[in-house]
Structure 1
Amino acid sequence: MMIDGGHLRVQARQNKLAYDPTLIEKVAHACIEQAQENLLRILYYDCAPYVGEARLPVSGKMHQFTGSGDWLRALGRKDLFAIRQGVLKFRGFKPKRIPISPTALSDDDFVPDFEQKGVDMRIGLDIATYSDERLTDRIVLITGDTDCIPAMKHGRKSGIQMILVSLPGQRLAPELFEHADFKRTIVWPG
């Protein structure tokens, strides 16, 4: 099983759920059909929170971003979980609303802009590795990122069944379904 953590986090927050290792673990196990599948490993792809300083866009004051990756380490200690960690890059600040109001702006009119780097590539490499080495018959994938399509194609060409998981209220890109053998819809675990 492979989980794009950034994608799962967005879906959980849209459904007003607390995003923590317990929820992630419950979602992972809800995706497996116990009668037909044996869970080999849960690969979780995400980034630790950004830690660093940046100058605020209007006042010019320095702002300290703090965060802890403790929750990722806690998740990695759970049975069958392995963490594949990318890097979170700070790309500056962007306006909360567009168009920008012509009135006086303040720092509160902007939000930090972060970009996840390396997560999609790690998912793709793991799909290729598991496929080429025939380590499994099926890969259950939670993602909404169409960048995974080439890896999904590779897995299918190698004889691996690709199962794409859909979460409640989610609309995945149609092209993702074209490169999956099965769509599996789950409900949020209680």
Structure 2
Amino acid sequence: MSQVAILIDGGYFIKRLPALRPGIDMSDPVAVCTTIKRMITAHLDRINKIERRSHARSLLYRSFYYDARPYLDRGHLPISRKAIDYAKSDVARFQLALHDMLRKTANMAVRLGEVRRDPASLWELKPSVLTALVKGEREFPSLEDADFRPTFRQKAVDMRIGLDIASLTLKRQVGTIVLIAGDSDFVPAAKLARREGVKFHLDPLWRSVEPGLFEHIDGLYSGLPRPRKREPEA
């Protein structure tokens, strides 16, 4: 029986989840972990239905969750210069707890990259604030700490996704790969998988994709229900 691997871009998933489940508590790792499990089951059920199989759970080879370790160093806020300990932040605590829960989930592998900050540019203005400044609706002396966001950059996450797609394909470990992601960085790996006979499905979590991507995938659908309200395109 051909098995299925489900690869989840964690950063993208967390960003999209509030739009797909407006009532979810994004500070609750249990709720988020439960949603991930349900999404995986929905994908397996769909593949099961398409291929007329039974016992969807037996199809799963492994799920992979890709994310970056939370930033745990100390720093200072941009305006007040107040000290901040990122290790004690709500974001860090949530990520650490979620990663730990996922590690304890059956048939789940957690692949973590790193988060780094450029010492030359630790903070950047939020887009809405920058727009207000350009339009003259705000003045620079009015800026506050809340108008900025830290310049965290994920490292090696996309690389891990590409390497696992190649490994799963070349080792003939699966017959189907489902990738939950929102960009086109996966295209070279998807081409390799399809050339080797692996079916490649994409779940963009109800975001539109570039028309050119359809020639590189075998299916496009989501494991979570469609949002009730139509969202503006990014």
TM-score, reference length from structure 1: 0.89
Name the amino acid aligned to 2:149: V
Q: 1:173 to 1:113 in 2, by over 3 A?
A: farther
Which amino acid counterpart does residue 82 of structure 1 have in structure 2?
A
CA RMSD, Structure 1 to Structure 2 (Å)? 2.0
Larger helix fraction of residues:
2
Residue 7 of structure 2 corresponds to residue 2 of structure 1: yes
Q: What residue in structure 2 maps to residue 46 of structure 1? A: 67
Counterpart secondary structure, 1:2: strand
Equivalent position of 1:81 in the other structure: 108
Q: Which runs of 5+ in 2 are unaligned?
A: 1-5, 27-31, 227-234
Q: Deviations over 1:109-156 (max 9, x none)?
A: 211222221111001000000111111111011111211111111111
Question: Hey, what's the Cα distance between the residues in 1 that align with 2:159 and 2:214?
Answer: 20
Shift in CA distance, 18/158, structure 1 to aligned 2, threshold 3 Å = farther
Give the secondary structure class of the aligned counterpart of 2:123.
Answer: strand
Whole-angstrom CA distance in 2 between matches of 1:102 and 1:126 = 48
Question: Could you say what secondary structure the match of 2:221 adopts?
Answer: strand
SS in 2 for 1:186: coil
Is 1:23 the equivalent of 2:39? Answer: no
Q: How many residue pairs align between the two structures?
A: 188
How does the TM-score come out when normalised to structure 2?
A: 0.73
Measure the CA separation in 2 of the matches of 1:103 and 1:93. 15
Q: CA deviation at 1:103?
A: 4.2
Q: Normalized per residue, which structure has more strand? A: 1
Structure 1 gap ranges (5+): none
C-alpha spacing 1:185/1:22, structure 2 compared with 1 (3 Å):
closer
SS at match of 1:41: strand
Percent identity, please.
Answer: 33
Deviations 1:33-71 (A, max 9, x none): 234361111011112322111222222332221223122
Rate the CA distance shift 1:6–1:174 in 2: closer, same or farther, 3 A: farther
Aligned counterparts of 1:164 and 1:64: Cα–Cα separation in 2: 38
Q: Which amino acid aligns with 1:60?
A: R
